[in-house]
Structure formats: C-alpha cells, structure tokens
Chains A and B, each alone.
Chain A
C-alpha cells in the first residue's frame, strides 16, 4: 500500500500534469510563430507562379480564416483544441486543406513506426550486447570494433546515408535510390509487395542501425567499464564468484538500467519521425509532414503529430517509472 502511495500515485499525478503542460505548449508555441497559415497558403501560390489577384487574395483570406477555424478568440481555440484532443479528431490540415489530420497521420505513421521501431529495437539489442562484450573483455580485436565505432559516430547522419547510397545504389546498384515502394506498385498484402517494401526500407534501415548502434554501443561500453571498477564487482571477484555470474548479475544487470531508460525515451521519440532519413531516401513518414506543418503554421497538423508524440514520450517515461522497481531494487526499498 505504501508503495502505491509513495511511488505510484505521485508518478501518475506527475504524468497527468506533464502531459497537460506538454499539450498546452503544443497549442501555444505554434501560435507564437511569426508565420500565418492563411498568408503562407497565399504566398505558396505566388511562390509557385500561380497568379492570385489582390481581389482574390482578400476573398481567400476571409474564406480560409473561416474554414480553418481561426476566427474565434485564443480561448475559444484552446477549448476547441481540448475538445479535439479528447475526441481524437484533430480537424482538417490547414496546409493540406481540407484533408483531415487523422487521414494524414494514418497515411504516414505506419511507415515511420515500421522503420523506426525495428531499427530502434535492433540497434539497441546489438549495441547492448556488443557494447557489453567489448566493455568487459577488452580483447585486441575488440579494440578494432571500438575504433571503427569511434570513427563512425561523429560522421553526420546525412553523410553516412549518402555513403550508403553511393555504395549500394550507385556503385553496386543493389537497392533503389529511394522511395517506400516501387514505381507502379500499389499497397497490398501480398508477398511481392511486402518484399518490395522491405527492399526499399533496407538502406534507410541500415543507416539508422549503424548510427544507432554506434551511439548506444559507446554508452554501453563506457557504463560496463565504469561498473567493472566499482567496489561490489571487485569484491565479487575477490570472493571468487564465477565470471559468468559477475558479468550477468553484477555488471550487465546494472548497466542495463540507463540503457532501458534510453530505449524507453527513444521509443517515445519515434512518433516525431526521422526527417533527414525521409528526405535523403524520399521515404514516407511523419517527419516530412511535421516539417511542412511547422513551416506553414499548420496548427492542426502540428497538434495532431505532437499530441501523439507528447503522449508517447510521457507514457514511455511513466512506463519506465513503473517497471523500474522490477529492475532496480533500490527503487523498491527507497
């Protein structure tokens, strides 16, 4: 009972407050941008060479304000925001009017989740195992891996992606230059289409894996090396505890704690997409949509994407908080 009172309830309250503040920030910050969605819409026509006469502009401004629901006071819009949040209907996209935000999310999210969840989990598993082994054993050949990772890690993602493209799409044209699915294909559930999708996802996934592994590998390795020098490990070794036990029960188990936190936070972040990956590989996803939405002050679309992202991050943190006591007895006994 005291665990629930002292640990669980405060965290649930914290979760509700953080989510509420996060969502309110989503409402406020886009409206502080100097970008006006109606004017951006107008200038988009002009930028692309479509002549809009001044008389037309006046009419367009009037109509778009009505259609976009930007006519009420800020408070009215805030109330509408919460209504939309709780009904799960984020309204129409302003920059892609009148397409509903939900439709855009349904189109883009599966691609983002498919790519990023697989690469996030895989890179985490590989990095944890490899980082743990290299961190503990420190063999000569392992140093080579460490050096390789040290070289890869500071390379900007864009360059890594370009190297992969040049290697596997240009010099050895094994993979397509981009896209989520082959030209002429339509999305359907058959083996050929699924394989075609995997083929298109392979290069973006590989680049994300390499970068993800390099980043987490070093974290894991350093954590393991640090734990190795801690008193309880030295004591265990002195007491003659067998190495397997030391590695798994004393080192890896402790090293896993920050890595689990990292994984949880990364999972929450998935919902914001991977903009550079999408741009370089012209891969479908939520990143490009979010970028366009911010650039064009599409309040509803920003709200739709960020609501999911905020809820995902706060829920991940809550989930981590809830499962932490199972991994870390210190939390249970605090």
Chain B
C-alpha cells in the first residue's frame, strides 16, 4: 500500500530541518535545493517563533517512515492509501 507523509502536528515543529536533510540524503545529496520538504520561519511580531511546513507530494516515493521517525517532535504521521476497491479513505497507520 502506498504510504503518505502528513504533517499532522506542524505546531510542534522546532525548525531543526532534520526531515529536510533526511529527504535529501535519500536522494543522495546534501543541501536545501530542490528539497521535497521545506521549513519556513514565519515572520511574526510576537515572541513566539513559528514554523510552516511545505511538502511536495513526490515525497511519498521516498522512505517516508524514515523521514517521519527522524523528527524529534513527532510532527508527522504516516497514512496508508487503501485499495480504492476496498475503501476510498486514507487511514492512519497503526
């Protein structure tokens, strides 16, 4: 079953970019260019630093479990796409 990486708790992100570098390593490169995950620091007037995640759907051809597990804050969950014949929903993996 295809697996889908979803940032289900983006508010927990601390901006470490471990997920970005893991995705890049799976593509045999080091750097930020053409990364399939991007972490943005939002400009805010308050004291809280907030992060925003942008994920390219092509990420799902990679080992998304490894990307999810490297996150120290459990920002991601893995969804499993069910066979459309059985069910059209996407269910969280147990």
Check if A and B associate.
no
> Which residues of A does B touch, CB under 8 Å?
none
> Which residues of B does A touch, CB under 8 Å?
none
